[in-house]
Amino acid sequence: MLYFLENNNLKIAINTHGAELSSIFNKKENKEMLWQGDSAFWGRRSPVLFPVVGKYRNGKTTYNEKEYALGQHGFARDSEFTLVEETESKLSFDLTSNNDTLTKYPFNFRLTCSFELKGDTIIVGWRVENTDDKTIHFSIGAHPAFYCKKGETVLTMNGENLKYNLINSDGLYTTPKYDVDSSLVLHDSVFDNDALIIENSGVNEISLVDDKKFLTVKFQTKVFGIWSPAKKNAPFVCIEPWYGRCDAEDFNGDITEREYGNSLNVGETWYKEYEIIIHE
């Protein structure tokens, strides 16, 4: 089911399936800004990645010596959320652990995804609550796809001397680092080897520019990805702030040792947010 928020600048839609941001309509430009999904390229729009970002090595992790299998990016994006808050400017949706999630992920939790509209800015919030009787461990990330013209759009990052890593054919992090310019022309060939993963760079603002700057994503994560489907000339790019990352190709730890992972003690809550700003 779709829910909407609207002001003089924007109209946005959120789907209860996955608590997925499904539309960002720029009313002043009369233009949709968020990729609308097409399986020929990529069928999603802006999934939330929880409780894992990327892939586990060999598709599984361990906790207390028991194995848990879970696919890429976790189960939240394919789960039905419940509306728990609705105001003129804000919507919030909940997902709670259940018998099915516990077969894939060994912790009880409550995940709340919120969407607040302020002028030309969308504030996306994630609140994770530990409802278990033990410490829980999780990753979470964003995957919004924005329309852009390949070969004409420039992606700019507020950093210098930047480097990126790649993932291998199994979707796992590789250690070689490569230079990337802070002003990157989005030719389709940029993504020939899949996503660019940038870590500990200090970058917290990424913008898309054609004849003018038209969109900015602001965040505070230590790691983020930039992605578009390889060799498809897809008319979008994903800007992905992550509190977590896929396993490295040589990773041998359990769920408590995953890089950039997060933990919560009994009864604790965790909250982070990022912003999408649409420019005139």
Cα separation, 227 vs 206, in Å, equals 13
| CATH code for the domain of 215 | 2.70.98.10
Distances (CA, A) of 5 to 23, 111, 117, 128, 138: 10, 21, 7, 23, 29
Domain that holds residue 158: 2-278
Structural domain total, the chain: 1
Q: Over range 92-111, report the average pLDDT.
A: 98
Give the predicted TM-score (pTM) of the model. Answer: 0.97
pLDDT number for residue 280? 82
Q: Find all residues with CB under 8 Å of 74, minimum gap 6, and list them.
A: 49, 50, 51, 52, 53, 105, 139
- 30 three-class SS: coil
pLDDT tens figures, 2-43: 999 999 999 999 999 999 999 999 999 999 999 999 999 999
Whole-number Cα distances in Å, 16 to 1, 182, 230 = 5, 36, 29
Task: State the alpha helices, DSSP H only, in 3-112.
Answer: 99-104
Q: Which helix (H) or strand (E) holds 31?
A: strand 31-32
